[in-house]
Amino acid sequence: MGTVAKSSITLVSISDAYSLSLTPNSCVIKADFDGSNPKLEHAYTIISAYCGDEKAPIEIDSSTIVKSNDNIEYQLIKVDSYRYRLSIISLPIDILQGYIEIPVLSGVSAGLTGRFTFSIVRESTMLDWIQDWESNKTTIGSSYVITPKIFVGKKIIGSHDSLEDIPGLTGVYIGPSEDNGAGIYGYKDNKEIFHIDQTGGKIGGWDITSSGIQCEDGTLSIKSEGAISAQSEGIIHWSLNKDGSASFANGNVTMDVEGNASFKGTIETSGGSIAGWTIGANSIYNGTIGINSLKKFIAIANVTSVQDTGDQLDWVKGYGGVAMYYISNADYGLIGYKNNEKVFSAGADNFIAGWYFDENAIWLGTKNNNINQHTSTEGDITIGTNGLRGFKWRLEGDGSGVLAGGNITWDTQGNTSITGKITATSGSIGGFEIGDGRIGVTESTEMNGKYQGLAILSSFIKYSSTNIWTGFGTNVFPASSGLSGLCRLEYSGSTYESGIGLLVKFRPKDNNSWYIQQAINYDGNIFGIGGKAEFEDTYIGAAYTDIIQSLFDRTHTFIFTDISLEFMTIELPSSTQIQNAVKSRDVTFEIRIIVAHNSGNRIRVRGVSGTPLLDNNCNYVNGDNGYLDMARGDTMILRYCQNHYYLVEYRT
């Protein structure tokens, strides 16, 4: 009697990632006819968990184990962080089968449950009702029949044409054998088909022993302890062992219980997978990575979604990536793409970041490595053994060169010819000295004309000679003066008795007062010593209702020589119009109005809403925002200040 264990694995899945393994997941336990003396030496299982193909750590609390019968006793031993051993150590005599459920309580595999099942086979060769039987008699009891021999079958007799046509004995015989044993025998046409006796058994060409079954010549055997093997002449050709290990090809292919495999020969396959790689007829690939023996490439493509199959070389060219390939001796190499633009290649076509290269040059566009030549197309560049050259420039290997389309040239001695503009920090040009930040004579920090002549500096331009200093720039006054200024025109000599220090003239041919025509426009104060003579000619002409509003930013004197209406109202500029003209500055100014002697009609000068005309008592003159009437020969002077017009002078 012994334990029969099934060498198999049960996987209980909780997700796509984790599973629980019981090895074995069930067993058969032999016992005496009354259920006593169970054979428990092989009644155990090994519990482990897996995440995919990798082992995962587990923890099991024995108090949570569930038994099909409370009288079942077991032992739980932790082998290591990944395995537990569960052994049955005692069974009640009144059960024929049962189970033990093992939940995993903690660890990454929490939530998995496995079940170890068992069945009991009782020994029947020593049943109690056989103990008193006399072996040479047939005994019939209330629930049994005991007899030394029994045959069930048929035997056909009669006349037949030949011996071969005589059918033989067919049936089953149970009883003693010739060698003083006993057994059960099956016959067909006088030929034994099977037997089981004290020496073992045989059925369909298989010998049955207490340890298993095997074919007649012993080359294939199935052991009761859980192993299957094929052997001859002392060599094991293949075997499947109860612990899960295996051996094939005369031991040249082996697998251990951890799933590790060893192959001493070559491997050929056109399908399957290995280490996450799918095996095809001519390739192995893992989504965006592929190795293809038929198309001769190794490629890693930058695709946004993993593909199961495809041409990774085409994906590299379409979406980006890196590949090595060979199509022909004119098309091969290492290539790299970003999106669908080639970044580099090396092989039949040498290219990187837009540049091509070979054994003597690297170039953009069309290669030209010829001495004293330019490239043929704008943007083409060649860097080669004979020098550097572009469309309008070249640097030869001997040191000579050409720039700016031939406008700058030099030879091997450094003799240079330049056609065009020059930038220099020393030397001379056109008779003027070139200094650091200047062209012309030096100027002292006091700018007192010590160095006579013209000077152009980074911050100002000046000319000086005896008694004359003129210039403009960021500051044209000596530091000792305590002054700063942008322009300085100075003459204090006796060479000239008359003249003009500054003449500004802006007189367009169309000298129309309706256009802004300003010879000088300044923003700031004026200080002077000397006489001043001003002559105004901006507006002497016809009166219009908005003439002062339209031209007050160009002149403040209005002389009306013609009034087209018998009585015309002329409005003064509003404070809004004034603020817009002076960019919201708080200003004051005078307006002078004269009706010429030859004007026959009358005008009324009137303030506007928000900008009234006041009398000397600060009342609105005549009401209605203030107004005054004028006829020929009348004059008026008004002063604007802070949204009001004050009457300075009014003569009628």
Give per-residue pLDDT as tens, 486-509.
888 888 888 877 888 888 888 887
In terms of Cα–Cα distance, which of 5, 47, 9, 1 is closest to 27?
5
pLDDT beyond 90 at 621: yes
Task: Tell me how far CA of residue 465 lies from CA of 434, 445, 451, in angstroms.
Answer: 20, 16, 8
Q: Calculate the CA dihedral of residues 202, 207, 211, 217 and round it to 10 degrees.
A: 170
Tell me what pLDDT residue 642 has: 95
Separation of alpha carbons 597 and 563, rounded Å: 12
In terms of Cα–Cα distance, which of 227, 193, 198 is closest to 213?
227
Task: Tell me how far CA of residue 587 lies from CA of 282, 580, 581, 626, 637, in angstroms.
Answer: 93, 12, 11, 21, 17
Give per-residue pLDDT as tens, 326-358.
889 888 888 888 888 888 788 888 777 777 777
516/575: higher pLDDT: 575
CA 211 to chain centre: 64
The backbone torsions φ and ψ at residue 518, rounded to the nearest 5 degrees and listed phi first, read -120, 115
CA 67 to chain centre: 54
Task: Tell me how far CA of residue 337 lies from CA of 204, 322, 349, 572, 586, in angstroms.
Answer: 67, 7, 14, 75, 68
Q: Which domains does the chain have, with CATH numbers?
A: 3-122 (2.60.40), 128-204 (no CATH), 273-353 (no CATH), 361-418 (no CATH), 427-491 (no CATH), 540-651 (2.60.120)
610/232: higher pLDDT: 610
Q: Residue 641 corresponds to which amino acid?
A: C
The backbone torsions φ and ψ at residue 547, rounded to the nearest 5 degrees and listed phi first, read -65, -40
Separation of alpha carbons 453 and 319, rounded Å: 69
The backbone torsions φ and ψ at residue 164, rounded to the nearest 5 degrees and listed phi first, read -65, -25
Average pLDDT over residues 274-281: 78
Q: 31-35, 166-170, 286-290: lowest mean pLDDT where?
A: 166-170
Average pLDDT over residues 173-202: 78
Residue 479 gets which letter from DSSP?
G
pLDDT beyond 90 at 633: yes
Mean pLDDT of the chain: 82
Report pTM.
0.38
Separation of alpha carbons 494 and 290, rounded Å: 97
Residue carrying structure tokens 């004979």: 386
Residue 68 gets which letter from DSSP?
S
Separation of alpha carbons 230 and 248, rounded Å: 9
Give per-residue pLDDT as tens, 558-582.
999 999 999 999 999 999 999 999 9
Kindly report the number of other CB atoms within 10 A of residue 60's CB atom: 20
SS (H, E, C) 106-175: ECCCCCCEEEEEEEEEECCCCCHHHCCCCCCCCEECCCCEECCCEEEEEECCCCCCCHHHCCCEEEEEEE
pLDDT confidence of 483, banded at 50, 70, 90? Answer: confident
Separation of alpha carbons 550 and 537, rounded Å: 16
pLDDT beyond 80 at 511: no
Q: What percent of the chain has pLDDT over 70?
A: 88
Separation of alpha carbons 173 and 195, rounded Å: 9
Separation of alpha carbons 455 and 477, rounded Å: 15
Give per-residue pLDDT as tens, 12-59.
434 445 778 888 888 999 888 778 889 999 899 999 888 777 788 888
Kindly report the number of other CB atoms within 10 A of residue 121's CB atom: 15
Give per-residue pLDDT as tens, 258-272.
888 888 888 777 777
Among the residues of 163-281, which ranges form H helices?
A: none
The string of DSSP letters for 89-117 reads EE--TT-SEEEEEEE--BSTTTT-EEEEE
Separation of alpha carbons 275 and 273, rounded Å: 7
Classify residue 563 as exposed, middle or buried by CB count within 10 Å of its CB (0-12, 13-18, 19+). buried
Kindly report the number of other CB atoms within 10 A of residue 386's CB atom: 19
> What is the sign, positive or negative, of the torsion defined by CA atoms of 570, 575, 580, 585?
positive
pLDDT beyond 50 at 3: no
pLDDT beyond 70 at 512: no
SS3 at position 381: strand
pLDDT confidence of 544, banded at 50, 70, 90? Answer: very high
Tell me what pLDDT residue 637 has: 97
